[in-house]
Structure 1
Amino acid sequence: MEVKVLDINGKETGRSVQLADSVFAIEPNKHAIYLDVKQYLANQRQGTHKAKERAEVAGSTRKIKKQKGTGTARAGSAKSPVFKGGGTIFGPRPRSYSFKLNKALKRLARKSAFTIKAQESNLFVIEDITFDTPNTKNFINVLKALGLESKKSLFVLGESNKNVYLSSRNLKRASVVTSSELNTYGILNANSLVLTEGSVEGIVENLSK
């Protein structure tokens, strides 16, 4: 799969890159995508929720009324879940929502996500970006040149670049990651995926292990 390389002004450079069909042109596996996205979202949950059960609620354990003769149901402690202020029945407890997925399945999910972006023509390859200093205005100019200023976009760098990252940090619709930080959710959550020339080799290498 051959894709033309654009410069940061959105113009063609006259160069092109060959994207491996084994990564960018496979048969998408939607179930693998579902599992990988599900795991990513599960890992974002803190799992610190907690409700007090009857043994943990503060209050007296004295029997609140006699057992018989009241005409109502028998009742013991005021901490019983049937009373206001009592404990919670089967309330949430702190837990981890994470679960394990095989590496091969996660690689398949990312390949499927790349393929979907390529099929939708929402994948671009641009020359490597370098800024001398962090400058949000410069990054906005890049977005405008590519026609992405009003779209959610994900930029993938070959290696970490602090100035480029800081230039994009204040923008709600733009994110910058390295090829090693990519995940299926991030790829699919972006309207447009922008790869730098230097990131292509790293992506293929990471997904070919």
Structure 2
Amino acid sequence: MKVAVLDITGKETGRKVELSDEVFAIEPNEHAIYLDVKQYLAHQRQGTHKAKERGEISGSTRKLKKQKGTGTARAGSIKSPVFRGGGRVFGPRPKDYSQKLNKNLKRLARKSALSLKSKENALVVVEDFNFEAPKTKQFVSFLTSLGLENKKSLIVLGDTNNNVYLSSRNLERSEVVTGSELNTYKIVHANSVVLTESALEGIESNLKK
């Protein structure tokens, strides 16, 4: 499948690139996408939540009142969960939310997500570009030329470019990543994916393995 290469102004350069059918034209496996996105979101959780149980509360061990004759329920500890300030019953404990997926499934999920974007015509290839200095206005102009100013967009670069990254940092709907940082969640979350030529080469060589 051939796709026209655009320049930074959104105009065609007159060149076309061949997108690998192994990466951008497979039958999408939605369950693989689901599992990979689920793993990504699970890994965002710190799992440091903790509530103190009655054995961890600081308080007197004195018996509050005599066992019988008060007309109320018996009580032996101020740390009991029935009292304010007492321990929590079955409270949250630190937990590791990480999930394991094998490399082949994760690779299949990324290829499936890219194939879906390609099928929806939500995939754009641009030539490599750079800014002389971080300028949000210049980055907005770039998005406008591609018709992405009001859409959630993912810009994928071949290598780290601080000027481009810093130019996009104030924009809520746009994210700049390198090819090595690309994952299934970011692809699915974006309305449109913009690949630079150098990023395209890296992605294809990585996902064809």
Length-normalised TM-score, structure 2: 0.95
Answer yes or no: is 1:91 the counterpart of 2:99. no
Alpha-carbon distance, 1:16 to partner: 1.0
Residues 10-29 of structure 1, C-alpha deviation per residue, up to 9 Å, x if partnerless?
A: 11111111111111111111
The size of the alignment, in residue pairs, is 209
Alpha-carbon distance, 1:170 to partner: 1.5
For residues 1-209 of structure 1, the aligned pairs below 5 Å read 1-209=1-209
State the distance in 2 between where 1:119 and 1:84 align.
58
Alpha-carbon distance, 1:71 to partner: 4.1
State the distance in 1 between where 2:4 and 2:72 align.
80
Identity %, equivalent residues: 71
**1:60 is aligned with what amino acid?**
S
State the distance in 1 between where 2:31 and 2:84 align.
45
Residues 154-184 of structure 1, C-alpha deviation per residue, up to 9 Å, x if partnerless?
A: 0011111121111111211111111111011
**2:36 is aligned with what amino acid?**
D
Q: Name segments (4+ residues, structure 1) moved above 2 Å.
A: 65-75
State the distance in 1 between where 2:129 and 2:52 align.
53
Residues 72-104 of structure 1, C-alpha deviation per residue, up to 9 Å, x if partnerless?
A: 433221111122211001111222211211111
Gaps of 5+ in 1: none
**1:62 is aligned with what amino acid?**
R
State the distance in 2 between where 1:21 and 1:65 align.
78
State the distance in 2 between where 1:122 and 1:32 align.
20
The residue matched to 1:38 in structure 2 has which SS? helix
State the distance in 2 between where 1:35 and 1:189 align.
15
**1:92 is aligned with what amino acid?**
P
Alpha-carbon distance, 1:127 to partner: 1.1
State the distance in 1 between where 2:70 and 2:208 align.
75
State the distance in 1 between where 2:194 and 2:51 align.
45
**1:194 is aligned with what amino acid?**
V
- RMSD after superposition: 1.3
State the distance in 2 between where 1:115 and 1:94 align.
38
The residue matched to 1:114 in structure 2 has which SS? helix
State the distance in 1 between where 2:134 and 2:175 align.
15
Alpha-carbon distance, 1:126 to partner: 0.9
**2:189 is aligned with what amino acid?**
N
